[in-house]
Amino acid sequence: MPFEKKRGKKRLINSIHNSLAGLVNALLTEDAFRQLFVIDSILLIIAFFLDITKIERLLLISSCFLLLVVELLNTAIETVVDRISLDIHPLSKRAKDLGGAAQLVTVVMTIIIWLVIIF
């Protein structure tokens, strides 16, 4: 019997449930995600108290959320690579390094955005 995909409201509810489960899992198991979550929470509070334009505030807020998104994707890449094999392999290292590089680029971008807007 082939697997039947959920449709309509059931699919949406199931998708939201799975997404929230992933978010909770990341908060409970990933130190880097937890650290970014705390830093982003502080930055978001600061963003609402700064005397800046709405567009500048939107850029600050967006950069914070992008940090979390890229960290989740990086964690997903690392998880899949580890699922395939824990053996050290050049392609596994490359995939993990590229995920880490994406996170580094996002961190640098966020720092630049915050510095340019604040100063």
Catalytic residue list:
71
How far, in Å, are 9, 16, 100, 103 from residue 44 at the CA level? Answer: 32, 23, 23, 19
| Residues 100 and 77 sit within 8 Å (Cβ to Cβ) | no
| Residues 66 and 103 sit within 8 Å (Cβ to Cβ) | no
Q: How far apart are CA 56 and CA 91, in angstroms?
A: 40
Q: How far apart are CA 79 and CA 92, in angstroms?
A: 11
